[in-house]
């Protein structure tokens, strides 16, 4: 059972699912930044929305954190880089509010085009101002979509239904894909020259902050109307307010602001502007989906399984073929680290996949191997998240290869480097893990947390001496196999799985025994 700290209101369905899974759900709303730091101590998971900022201080205090879950899309309130360094997975719910955000965009676009909020306010205040609030039609107007992702695509489809011409700017979308949606890809200069309406659907990054600022607005058409339901700060509010006040821009509709919550902006006093308090995801359906999705992702992370919406894990989803091998990969990585412990990790680690595995995306399996390699003897948390970073920091090159042929096994995962090689697979109907190769010897033994590798002369009596020494030390042998050398004259290899780790003094006795060449204790 894990403790899940929830600092903002999340749909009950998701929280109930976590409770049903046996987790302790600790809901603490309205915490100050300092109180969040205190509350996260001892928590295994942290679930937030947009109001809680997950700072390095929060992550450092949460020494037991496995995952931070953001019930929504944006992650500008989470220090993802520091979470990655700490080995903490960050997950979001990227598909939970895309429909709600697209519909909010269309609502603001229509409200801006027809001055609906202004006319409403005037009428309920006792003023019939029919001529004052003349609007414009959407038909035959050009809508520029900045960011043609999931939400941008939905907005484009809906705007087409109003007879609008769609252009888009997105450096990550191919012209062929855009053309298939009947959309022309253009640069920002062409957006400024042609757009009657502009809607933003990009993440807030250093490259997008102030994207719609003084320079862009100076080049835009005077009848441009700007819609932002993405993130505050992408539009320079002061520059936009000045452009509207001077008549260089027709108007704007914003759902998000640089600082939130806020009740002050240079845009608020302008009659050509429509504003809402970040309502893009504020529908019952979106909140339910966000709560359910983030609870599911957090539960997967706590169970050590693959998490589809992890934003700082560089891997695709584990297929049904790959998934059973995740534990094997991690076990092999741990054993490999123990095998090379005396010399230290090599500068290059080669990971090879043979058999059916070669036909699948094995990136998540490589992360499992690295997690096992770097977890051995590490005081810092190691996970799918920071394992590649640890390899880079230590100057270790990771080389992956695949081969569809495997002579003796349906699938084989092997790790090599520093003159050592280890391999494992799953066997039988129960898909039980097996260690099948070590340094040129073929064997068949279950991976274990406590393994002792004994290299010895291939002659009678040696196995008995080893058993006698371990028995005299009170060490119980759970499993044992004698590896068959793949080359003549390679000597013998005993792989012994014990109930507890073999102490250093007992390992020294083994190494001193007649016929023993070397002893390596892993565990």
- Half-sphere exposure of residue 356, counting CA atoms within 13 Å on the CB side? 12
Give strand ranges (E) for 265-347. Answer: 273-275
Q: What is the CA radius of gyration of the chain?
A: 30
- In this prediction, residue 172 has a pLDDT band, given cuts at 50, 70 and 90, of confident
Dihedral over alpha carbons 341, 344, 345, 347 (to 10 degrees): -160
Average pLDDT over residues 404-425: 89
> CB under 8 Å, gap of 24 or more: what pairs does 475-482 form?
475/499, 475/500, 475/502, 475/506, 476/500, 478/448, 479/445, 479/446, 479/448, 480/445, 481/443, 481/444, 481/445, 482/443
Highest mean pLDDT among 99-108, 324-333, 379-388: 99-108
**Best CATH choice for the domain 323-522 from the list 3.30.1330.90, 3.90.550.10, 3.40.50.150, 1.10.357.10:** 3.30.1330.90
Q: What is the pLDDT of residue 87?
A: 86
Outline which parts of the chain fall under CATH 3.30.1330.90: 323-522
Q: Can you say whether the dihedral through the CA atoms of 93, 300, 11, 29 is positive or negative?
A: negative
305 pLDDT above the threshold of 80: no
| Residue 111 to residue 97: CA distance in whole angstroms | 21
Q: What is the pLDDT of residue 316?
A: 57
* Three-state SS at 428: coil
- Are 66 and 83 in contact, with CB atoms under 8 Å apart? no
341 pLDDT above the threshold of 90: no
Measuring CA to CA, which residue among 199, 208, 189, 196 is closest to residue 258?
A: 208
* CATH no. for 98-275: 3.40.50.720
Q: What is the pLDDT of residue 380?
A: 65
- In this prediction, residue 436 has a pLDDT band, given cuts at 50, 70 and 90, of very high
Outline which parts of the chain fall under CATH 3.40.50.720: 3-95+285-302, 98-275
| Residue 198 to residue 212: CA distance in whole angstroms | 10
For the beta carbon of residue 209, count every other beta carbon within 10 angstroms.
16
Listed range (17-26, 206-215, 372-381, 388-397) with the worst mean pLDDT: 372-381
387 pLDDT above the threshold of 70: yes
Predicted TM-score (pTM) of this structure: 0.65
Return the H-helix or E-strand segment holding 16: helix 12-20
Active site residues: 231, 260, 278
- Sequence-distant (6+) residues with CB within 8 A of 318 are 306, 326, 364, 365
| Residue 289 to residue 427: CA distance in whole angstroms | 39
Q: What is the pLDDT of residue 379?
A: 65
Average pLDDT over residues 267-295: 94
User: Mean pLDDT over all residues of the chain?
Assistant: 92
The CATH number of domain 3-95+285-302 is 3.40.50.720: yes
């Amino acid at each position: 059972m894990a403790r899940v700290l929830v600092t903002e209101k999340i749909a009950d369905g998701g929280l109930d699912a976590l409770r049903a899974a046996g987790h302790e759900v600790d809901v603490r709303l309205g915490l100050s930044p300092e109180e969040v730091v205190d509350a996260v101590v001892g928590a295994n998971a942290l679930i937030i929305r947009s109001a809680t900022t997950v700072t390095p201080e929060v992550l450092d205090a949460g020494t037991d954190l496995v995952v931070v879950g953001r019930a929504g899309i944006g992650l500008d309130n989470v220090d993802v880089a520091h979470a990655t360094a700490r080995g903490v997975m960050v997950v979001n719910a990227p598909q939970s509010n895309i429909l709600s955000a697209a519909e909010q965009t269309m609502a603001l676009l229509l409200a801006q085009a027809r001055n609906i909020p202004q006319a409403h306010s005037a009428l309920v205040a006792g003023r019939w101002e029919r001529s004052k609030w003349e609007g414009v039609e959407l038909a035959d107007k050009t809508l520029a979509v900045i960011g043609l992702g999931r939400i941008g695509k939905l907005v484009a489809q809906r705007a087409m239904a109003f007879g609008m011409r769609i252009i888009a700017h997105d450096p990550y979308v191919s012209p062929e894909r855009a053309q298939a949606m009947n959309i022309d890809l253009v640069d920002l200069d062409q957006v400024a020259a042609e757009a009657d309406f502009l809607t933003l659907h990009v993440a807030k990054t250093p490259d997008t902050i102030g994207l719609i600022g003084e320079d862009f607005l100076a080049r835009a058409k005077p009848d441009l109307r700007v819609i932002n339901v993405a993130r505050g700060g992408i539009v320079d509010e002061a520059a936009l307010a000045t452009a509207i006040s001077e008549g260089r821009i027709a108007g704007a509709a914003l759902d998000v602001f640089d600082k939130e919550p806020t009740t002050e902006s240079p845009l608020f006093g302008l009659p050509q502007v429509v504003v809402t308090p970040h309502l893009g995801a504020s529908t019952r359906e979106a909140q339910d989906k966000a709560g359910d999705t983030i609870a599911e992702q957090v539960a997967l992370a706590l169970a050590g399984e693959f998490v589809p919406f992890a934003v700082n894990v560089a891997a695709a989803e584990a297929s049904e073929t790959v998934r059973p091998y995740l534990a094997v990969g991690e076990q092999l990585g741990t054993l490999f680290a123990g095998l090379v412990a005396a010399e230290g990790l090599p500068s290059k680690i080669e990971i090879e996949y043979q058999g059916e595995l070669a036909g699948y995306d094995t990136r998540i399996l490589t992360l499992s191997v690295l997690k096992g390699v770097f977890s051995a003897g590490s005081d810092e948390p190691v996970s799918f998240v920071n394992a590649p970073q640890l390899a880079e920091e230590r100057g270790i090159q990771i080389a992956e290869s695949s081969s569809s042929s495997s002579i003796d096994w349906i699938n084989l995962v092997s790790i090599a480097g520093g003159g050592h090689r280890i391999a494992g697979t799953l066997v039988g109907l129960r898909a039980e893990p097996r260690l099948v190769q070590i340094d040129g010897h073929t064997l068949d033994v279950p991976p274990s947390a406590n393994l002792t590798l004994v290299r010895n002369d291939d002659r009678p009596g040696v196995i008995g001496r080893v058993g006698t020494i371990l028995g005299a030390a009170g060490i119980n042998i759970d499993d044992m196999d004698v590896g068959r050398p793949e080359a003549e004259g390679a000597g013998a290899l005993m792989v012994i799985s014990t109930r507890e780790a073999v102490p250093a003094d007992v390992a020294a006795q083994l190494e001193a025994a007649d016929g023993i060449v070397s002893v390596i204790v892993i565990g």
